[in-house]
A and B are shown apart, each in its own frame.
Chain A
């Protein structure tokens, strides 16, 4: 059994045992970290494997989250009622945009399709024109900025700055009840597992190798007859769908979705965990996302201002001293250990 397998089994066991040992409050926090870990898998795909630094993951997270929140709000308001925030901002009739979200099937489809479609369109238009690297990063960040301003501005449609809150039901589960919370956590954990598996299969497939090739030498891949724009667009879309799923799960788990969670800074914060854990290794990205968000909770409880220094400093330190993150450190340690063991018998291999 390899080290990777062992740590994977340990992680699964820990995630499975969590509902039995943690208090409902702590379990809710863990469930939130799991949501961020799902986003992290998508980022590791797009950024680590594909070299696309996306600074707008908050947009896709938000699209998924708002789609879910709209459904839950309508469910809560009943067949005739309006969501509470609409009443407060003086909206009298349900806007046409909201109507289809009363249907659970439509809402669930929107959670996946909405982020996917936006990412697909942006990716296609941008990558086709060979806009890449830093330019793509800036454009994705501009998208995040515009998205948040739009959400805040359309008060009657989106709840404005406050967003949407107060959810008590999630597909028949009572969110105020510890058992309901455990069930939601279980769903999130399973989604994380599936996301990880999908990403892993993708990375190992022919497509995954092509993706890495595009990252390392886009022009060469083009000369070989592939279309890098297609490869990048597909990957970017998948990563957006993952963020959308995470956003949809975030709503019942944390009980709020608002622009403050989706802007430029939150979108960048999603990257911190991936960078710390190691962007080139999927498991590293997950571990990093959970660890960094756990650290954030720890610090915010005691001294909130310190966290911003620590987060900024952590980012700088990781980039300067360990650009491959913790996973990179683990890898180099393992390489050194194994090369020392093998050195006497097969020195040629080590040299090569």
Chain B
């Protein structure tokens, strides 16, 4: 029982990391149907931003969060503007295209920062933890959970309460009609990509709390994050949240019960089994399109 409870914060923090990454994907993949394999490299860019900023001020970690959002967001904007917008309606080609970009970005990081991993020192107030009912809650992992919650709330407010979010949903639901109604769909696309990529940057800063930073940082998480989107349902915020929680705990507990290598295979089997029941993920946008 004690071990079971101790595994709880670990599962929760895996879930939070996955959720942070999947949130960005909800924008780029869910809203726009673009499979951005370079999303992992935007995470990496966010993490390196935190690395570069540390030492400038005592609160560099908190400053890194918005800066990483802007850095990764601008990278995403550039990618959308230069390449991806030529590929709408060709999702499989976008996948390959962005993978090519991701190869180049990884090598670029290797050339700039060197192949070995670097370490970001966590700020003092995130070192240590607190015991609650005999369960150790490390501050750094709790911070990631809080950050994920804040981001989810932010995205929810944006999508449902703000005019810009309404425009984005309009473009997703009916691009042509939105265009006729006077929405600049191209600009909405670019902004969607900026937001999604920016969230990847924030996730990257959060990841520096739980591990070292290296050129292939993003590749470790990107597949799992895509699985979250697949299991959660396309473009569904609540689906992403639930699926991230489920996958996080599944990963955490399976690794604990079996071993890390078997856990990955079991997670894959569980997802395939889940798709037998709900092939389109947990939540489906009801529409009249044929699926």
B227 touches A316 (CB 8 A): no
Q: Is the interface of B mostly helix, strand, loop or mixed?
A: helix
Residue B83 at the chain A interface, CB threshold 8 Å: yes
B260 touches A149 (CB 8 A): yes
B100 touches A305 (CB 8 A): no
Q: Which A242-277 residues have C-beta < 8 A from chain B?
A: 264-265, 268, 271, 275
Among candidates B223, B260, B275, residue contacting A131 with C-beta atoms closer than 8 Å:
B275
Residue B66 at the chain A interface, CB threshold 8 Å: no
Chain B residue nearest to A149 (CB atoms) is B264
Residue A345 at the chain B interface, CB threshold 8 Å: no
B200-227 CB mask vs A (1 if < 8 Å, else 0) is 0000000000000000000100011011
B83 touches A316 (CB 8 A): yes
Residue A315 at the chain B interface, CB threshold 8 Å: yes
* Cα separation A313 to B259 with both chains bound (whole Å): 38
CB distance from A269 to the nearest CB of B (A): 9
A304-323 CB mask vs B (1 if < 8 Å, else 0) is 01001101111110011001
Residue B137 at the chain A interface, CB threshold 8 Å: no
> Which of A60-68, A134-142, A187-195, A336-344 participates in binding chain B?
A134-142
B107 touches A129 (CB 8 A): no
Residue A122 at the chain B interface, CB threshold 8 Å: yes
Among candidates A142, A147, A308, A319, residue contacting B106 with C-beta atoms closer than 8 Å:
A308
Q: Which B76-96 residues have C-beta < 8 A from chain A?
A: 83, 86-87, 90-93, 95-96
With a cutoff of 8 Å between Cβ atoms, the chain A residues found around residue B223 in the complex are 138, 141-142, 145, 264
With contacts A125-B276, A149-B260, A312-B103 known, is A319 near B265, CB below 8 A? no
Q: Is the interface of A mostly helix, strand, loop or mixed?
A: helix
A309 touches B97 (CB 8 A): no
Residue A300 at the chain B interface, CB threshold 8 Å: no
A149 touches B261 (CB 8 A): yes
Chain A residue nearest to B34 (CB atoms) is A134
A118-144 CB mask vs B (1 if < 8 Å, else 0) is 000010011001110111011101110
Chain A residue nearest to B261 (CB atoms) is A153
Q: Which A78-93 residues have C-beta < 8 A from chain B?
A: none
B97 touches A320 (CB 8 A): yes
Residue B35 at the chain A interface, CB threshold 8 Å: yes
Residue A152 at the chain B interface, CB threshold 8 Å: yes
* Cα separation A141 to B226 with both chains bound (whole Å): 10
Among candidates B92, B103, B111, B268, residue contacting A143 with C-beta atoms closer than 8 Å:
B268
- A contacts with B, residue count (CB < 8 A): 45
CB distance from A46 to the nearest CB of B (A): 12
B93 touches A319 (CB 8 A): yes
With a cutoff of 8 Å between Cβ atoms, the chain A residues found around residue B110 in the complex are 305
With a cutoff of 8 Å between Cβ atoms, the chain B residues found around residue A139 in the complex are 230, 271-272
CB distance from A88 to the nearest CB of B (A): 19
A138 touches B227 (CB 8 A): yes
B226 touches A138 (CB 8 A): yes
- B contacts with A, residue count (CB < 8 A): 44
Residue A10 at the chain B interface, CB threshold 8 Å: no
Q: Which B235-269 residues have C-beta < 8 A from chain A?
A: 259-262, 264-265, 267-268
* Cα separation A306 to B181 with both chains bound (whole Å): 48
Residue B104 at the chain A interface, CB threshold 8 Å: yes
With contacts A141-B223, A264-B223, A319-B100 known, is A309 near B264, CB below 8 A? no
A34-46 CB mask vs B (1 if < 8 Å, else 0) is 0000000000000
* Cα separation A216 to B162 with both chains bound (whole Å): 39
B95 touches A312 (CB 8 A): no
Residue B291 at the chain A interface, CB threshold 8 Å: yes
With a cutoff of 8 Å between Cβ atoms, the chain A residues found around residue B97 in the complex are 315-316, 319-320
Residue B290 at the chain A interface, CB threshold 8 Å: yes
* Cα separation A214 to B288 with both chains bound (whole Å): 21
A316 touches B100 (CB 8 A): yes
* Cα separation A316 to B101 with both chains bound (whole Å): 7
* Cα separation A149 to B255 with both chains bound (whole Å): 12
B279 touches A146 (CB 8 A): no
With a cutoff of 8 Å between Cβ atoms, the chain A residues found around residue B106 in the complex are 308
Among candidates B33, B95, B219, residue contacting A53 with C-beta atoms closer than 8 Å:
B95
A135 touches B276 (CB 8 A): no
B107 touches A134 (CB 8 A): no
* Cα separation A226 to B106 with both chains bound (whole Å): 44
A308 touches B267 (CB 8 A): no
Residue B139 at the chain A interface, CB threshold 8 Å: no
B290 touches A150 (CB 8 A): no
With a cutoff of 8 Å between Cβ atoms, the chain B residues found around residue A177 in the complex are none
B275 touches A129 (CB 8 A): yes
Chain A residue nearest to B104 (CB atoms) is A312
Residue B99 at the chain A interface, CB threshold 8 Å: yes
With a cutoff of 8 Å between Cβ atoms, the chain A residues found around residue B90 in the complex are 323
Chain B residue nearest to A153 (CB atoms) is B261
* Cα separation A135 to B30 with both chains bound (whole Å): 12
CB distance from A214 to the nearest CB of B (A): 15
With contacts A143-B268, A308-B107 known, is A315 near B261, CB below 8 A? no
* Cα separation A314 to B93 with both chains bound (whole Å): 14
Chain B residue nearest to A125 (CB atoms) is B272
11 CB contacts below 8 A, A to B, read A55-B95, A126-B275, A129-B276, A134-B91, A134-B95, A142-B226, A149-B264, A264-B223, A309-B103, A316-B100, A319-B100
Q: List 12 additional A-B contacts (Cβ < 8 Å) besides A134-B35, A265-B219, A316-B83.
A: A51-B92, A122-B272, A145-B264, A146-B267, A149-B260, A150-B262, A309-B107, A315-B97, A315-B100, A316-B100, A319-B87, A320-B86
Give 9 closest A-B pairs by Cβ, nearest first.
Answer: A153-B261, A315-B100, A312-B103, A129-B279, A312-B104, A308-B107, A146-B264, A312-B100, A316-B100
Chain B residues within CB distance 8 Å of chain A: 29, 33, 35, 83, 86-87, 90-93, 95-97, 99-104, 106-107, 110-111, 219, 223-224, 226-227, 230, 259-262, 264-265, 267-268, 271-272, 275-276, 279, 290-291
